[in-house]
Amino acid sequence: MTATSWVEGAEAGPFDLEHLPYGVFSTAKDPAPRIGVRIGDQVLDLRGLATGTFFLPWIRPAFHEQALNGFMAMGPPAWRLVRHQLMELLADRRYRDQSATLLTPIAKARMHLPFNVADYVDFYASEEHAANLGRLFRPDSEPLLPNWKHLPVGYHGRAGTVVPSGTPIVRPRGQRKAKDGPLEFGPSARLDIETEVGFVVGVGTELGTPVSVDDFAEHVFGVVLVNDWSARDIQAWEYVPLGPFLGKSFATSIGHWVTPLDALAAAKAPAPVQDPAPLGYLQETDRFGYDLEMAVRWNGTEVSRPPFAGMYWTPAQMLAHLTVNGASLRTGDLFASGTVSGPEPAQRGSFLELTWGGKEPVTVGEGETRSFLEDGDTVVIEATAPGAEGGRIGLGEVSGTILPAKD
């Protein structure tokens, strides 16, 4: 069945009735952050709905919170019930008059972080990205390190510096040392992006209890786009032997809208066959990724279109691996895929790869050339995915502008 919404402009498109992503917004008139659902160019106020009898009594308290965590912790039965109710409300014209007062035009909504980020984990799941970085950083050895095809490589990031789309990014300062160069301190001269997809944990686990690779949908609430800003010069000097640190932790941007997994049912796609076969705990009964077509705009110019469907490690494998040692999950944990890069040069998800270490600059905006980010530059990451009935939904974009370093 194809249902359409009574909300004008929401018939088909990135935020139609089949999408319904959740976010947290406020307005000038009512500055208290509250949960909303996006429909077309409007936000439906779920706190407003929860003050009436629309939701079941046990659901209502979650929509009086200022973040999605309470709702996400309720698990798949609550997620499905609410999504079903919202679809009905926004499709059935009989609800139109009583619900129209709960709509805010997106232009008047101030968007906040959609959920309180508990822990942040970042992976390295694209074979093309890992191989490109291997060629750039270790030109004389095999592009992939020996562990790469046996486990999804990752590290723990900094949850406290995850910021919502639109937050200005202050250029980080730090130590850097080029090969055979002097030790220097100052603003990063190789500031970069990482085009990523993030997965948001709803249902936590007890310490000591791994999550099966087949239980992904029991724990993961939804998806956000991620820009994992990276200072390559700081990173290159500091990362041996313990991995990424200050070159990454200064800021990570996420989209305003969390797309529920159920909205991506039509976007499920077979993931690449793995050779060698991974250990048993990483073998899925139903192995799939998501067919998200991503796009990167640098000062308005589209410079890359990374395809998420080709990722070697799936989100379910990432979740199984990050808990296999018994590490617990908490509501609000965010794990990101790592840079999404495809096999073609125009599919590379970082500027380090796109400009091949800065040696092949690209043209952006009004005919300016760039190797890495300059102050004032803006990067926007977008993605679309197949929706129900042959349509396409659009994930909430993630955008950021670079500000000069501070003394």
Q: Cα angle at 227 between 119 and 343, to 5 degrees?
A: 115
From the CB of 70, what's the least distance to Mn ion, in Å?
28
Q: Is 140 exposed, middle or buried (0-12, 13-18, 19+ CB in 10 A)?
A: exposed
Residue 134, C-beta contacts closer than 8 angstroms, at least 6 positions apart: 141, 142, 143, 144, 145
Binding site for Mn ion (CB under 5 A): 122, 194, 228
Nearer CB in complex with Mn ion: 194/377: 194
User: Rounded to the nearest 5°, which phi and psi values hold at 170?
Assistant: -75, 125
CA atoms within 13 A on the CB side of 172: 22
Find the catalytic residue in 129, 219, 256, 321. Answer: 129
Nearer CB in complex with Mn ion: 67/117: 117
Nearer CB in complex with Mn ion: 63/199: 199
* DSSP line for 58-123: TTGGGGGSSSSHHHHHT-HHHHHHHHHHHHHHHH-GGGHHHHHTTEEEGGGPEE--SS----EEEE
Residue with tokens 């995850």: 162
Q: Round to whole Å and give the CA distance between 5 and 9.
A: 9
From the CB of 196, what's the least distance to Mn ion, in Å?
6
From the CB of 124, what's the least distance to Mn ion, in Å?
7
Q: Round to whole Å and give the CA distance between 312 and 290.
A: 12
Nearer CB in complex with Mn ion: 129/256: 129
User: Rounded to the nearest 5°, which phi and psi values hold at 317?
Assistant: -70, -35
From the CB of 84, what's the least distance to Mn ion, in Å?
35
From the CB of 175, what's the least distance to Mn ion, in Å?
20
Catalytic residue flag (residue 129): yes
- Measured over the CA atoms of residue 372, residue 375, residue 162 and residue 187, the dihedral's sign is positive
Q: Which amino acid is at 215?
A: D
Radius of gyration of the chain (CA): 21
Nearer CB in complex with Mn ion: 74/340: 340
Nearer CB in complex with Mn ion: 104/195: 195
From the CB of 61, what's the least distance to Mn ion, in Å?
35
Quickly count: other Cβ atoms within 10 Å of residue 338's Cβ.
Answer: 28
Peptide bond into 272 cis (omega under 30): no
Nearer CB in complex with Mn ion: 16/196: 196
Quickly count: other Cβ atoms within 10 Å of residue 66's Cβ.
Answer: 16
From the CB of 157, what's the least distance to Mn ion, in Å?
8
Structure tokens at 387: 């929706």
Catalytically annotated residues: 129
